[in-house]
Amino acid sequence: MNQRWLLSVLAFIYGALAEDESTEEPYTEEEFVDAEKPGMLRKVSWQDFKIELVILSLFALYVISFVTKKRKNADFASRWYNSLQSMFRSQFAQYGPGRNMSPIIDVSPTEYSSYLTGRVNVKNVYTTLQLFPRQDLFTYGINQLVEIVLGNVMSPVLPVADRFQVLLNLGNHSKPWQPFVFAIVRKDCMRILRETRFDLSFTRISSHPSLPETHVLMSENLECTERVLNLPQFLPSLQSCLKNLEYLIITDQPSAPPANEKEYVEQPRIDASMRVDNVASISELQTLQASDLFTALLSIADNTSKFQWRPEITRKLTSSRKLALEEVVHASAAKKAAKSKKSTTSDINNLPEAEQKKRMDRERQRKIKKRGKRV
């Protein structure tokens, strides 16, 4: 159906623009508007509105494409979540935002999410299926051009693709544990994540024989690394989805750089993202990979009691967080001071010249007194 519409519109545009001028009959004198007789109008035909018709045809083509591709994305999301529904319901008491509501939340034509809660050791889970903008390729092309031109100015982001993301917030556990930052990251995503995520600044990059060459480890401490990789069911479950895994991050630090102390909120959680190779033909292999990724995340949530460290490691983890908070507070105070100084300077410049001189004299005398006290 879409191909018929496309061919019809393109044929119409071609016919309108490729008119043979040699067969066109010349206008007669009656068809011209006489400047001396403004009341008379020449004859008009559809050929006089060729440009307008072409624009309307392109707009109609855009609308038809947008609607049909949007429905396709919605169908992809529905089939994806339906294939994972049994696993979700077996692990969580609540699948979806509430009763008598669809478990799939339509955030945008390219983003569909769901909510899970009601499980031991897990506070809640947010899942997101991000899809390629098939319904709006024109806007996507414009954004790509802007990114190419202003690539050094804009903040780096992961390339647009079909991907499944999971945010698992860890709940209260019976046995306290010391949070840490640990990540398994695909190499082609490492630079972007390193530049954009605040929590990964706590880690050091290394390799591990259990991981393929396409991925690297980012961890605060070697003991944390070994403890995570030796969890039951973690590595066996992760192996099946490593091919499409973009990142798996265990963290308690903010992902975005905090601007002040209020934004510096520590929340133990797990972030994960995997690409979906061909969402148009969802297969058992793809849903199995997503299920295995979930199993790996839940194995971490169920074994946090094993994250007990030696005193020296606990001191290092605590010290690094204290130092990071101090840096955020210092940067925030410096920014406020600079803003206040700029505001004061602006206020002084708006005063009359005589008042400006008085202010400057008072400031000079204050500095002289301050130097005298130091001496």
* pLDDT: which is higher, 152 or 310: 310
> Token pair for residue 180?
């840490």
Q: Say if residue 197's pLDDT is above 80.
A: yes
pLDDT at 365: 76
pLDDT at 339: 74
Residues 6+ apart with CB under 8 A from 102: 96
Q: How confident is the model at residue 285 (pLDDT cuts 50, 70, 90)?
A: low
Q: What's the average model confidence in pLDDT over 128-140?
A: 80
Packed helices 50-91 and 2-17: angle between N→C axes, nearest 10 degrees: 160
pLDDT at 159: 81
Q: What's the average model confidence in pLDDT over 24-45?
A: 53
Highest mean pLDDT among 79-83, 98-102, 342-346, 371-375: 79-83
Helical residues (DSSP H) of the chain, grouped into ranges: 2-17, 50-91, 137-149, 187-196, 222-229, 234-239, 284-301, 311-349, 353-374
Residues 6+ apart with CB under 8 A from 349: 356
Q: What percent of the chain has pLDDT over 70?
A: 75
> Token pair for residue 224?
């944390």
Q: Say if residue 28's pLDDT is above 70.
A: no
pLDDT at 281: 66
CA nearest 131: which of 77, 63, 68? Answer: 77
Q: How confident is the model at residue 326 (pLDDT cuts 50, 70, 90)?
A: very high
Tell me how far apart the alpha carbons of residues 277 and 258 are, in angstroms, rounded to a whole number: 34
Q: What's the average model confidence in pLDDT over 80-103?
A: 90
Tell me how far apart the alpha carbons of residues 228 and 222 are, in angstroms, rounded to a whole number: 10
pLDDT at 23: 45
Tell me how far apart the alpha carbons of residues 132 and 279 are, in angstroms, rounded to a whole number: 10
Among the residue ranges 254-258, 283-287, 329-333, 344-348, the one predicted with the least confidence is: 344-348
Q: What's the average model confidence in pLDDT over 118-141?
A: 85
Q: Say if residue 301's pLDDT is above 90.
A: yes
Q: What's the average model confidence in pLDDT over 234-247?
A: 91
pLDDT at 175: 76
Q: Say if residue 35's pLDDT is above 50.
A: no
Q: Which residues pair with 127 in a beta bridge?
A: 114, 166
Q: Say if residue 44's pLDDT is above 70.
A: no
Q: What's the average model confidence in pLDDT over 343-363?
A: 69
pLDDT at 136: 74
Q: What are the backbone angles phi and psi of residue 111, rounded to the nearest 5°?
A: -140, 125
Contact 278, 198 (CB under 8 A): no
pLDDT at 168: 96
Q: What's the average model confidence in pLDDT over 323-333?
A: 91
Q: What percent of the chain has pLDDT over 90?
A: 42
pLDDT at 114: 95
Sign of the dihedral through C-alpha 12, 14, 20, 21: positive
* pLDDT: which is higher, 244 or 346: 244
State the pairing for strand pair 105-108/204-206: unpaired
Half-sphere exposure of 318 (CA within 13 A, CB side): 9
290: left (phi over 0), alpha (psi -120 to 50) or beta: alpha
Q: What's the average model confidence in pLDDT over 314-336?
A: 91
Tell me how far apart the alpha carbons of residues 77 and 103 are, in angstroms, rounded to a whole number: 11
State the pairing for strand pair 215-219/204-206: antiparallel
Tell me how far apart the alpha carbons of residues 223 and 226 are, in angstroms, rounded to a whole number: 5
State the pairing for strand pair 182-186/245-251: antiparallel
Contact 181, 251 (CB under 8 A): yes
* pLDDT: which is higher, 308 or 366: 308
Exposure string for 311-334, b = 16+ CB within 10 A, e = fewer:
eebeeebeebbeebeeebeeebee
Q: Say if residue 267's pLDDT is above 70.
A: yes
Q: Give CA separation, 183 vs 241, 250, 278, 320, in Å.
A: 15, 6, 26, 17
Q: Say if residue 15's pLDDT is above 70.
A: no
- What is the residue whose two structure tokens read 């194995």? 299
CA nearest 270: which of 240, 234, 239, 243? Answer: 234
> 126: buried, middle or exposed (CB in 10 Å: 19+, 13-18, 0-12)?
middle
Average pLDDT across the chain, whole number: 81
pLDDT at 297: 95
Q: What's the average model confidence in pLDDT over 367-374?
A: 65
Contact 247, 271 (CB under 8 A): yes
Contact 273, 163 (CB under 8 A): yes
pLDDT at 21: 46
pLDDT at 370: 66
Tell me how far apart the alpha carbons of residues 327 and 315 are, in angstroms, rounded to a whole number: 18
Contact 125, 167 (CB under 8 A): yes
Exposure string for 49-62, b = 16+ CB within 10 A, e = fewer:
eeeeeeeebeeebe
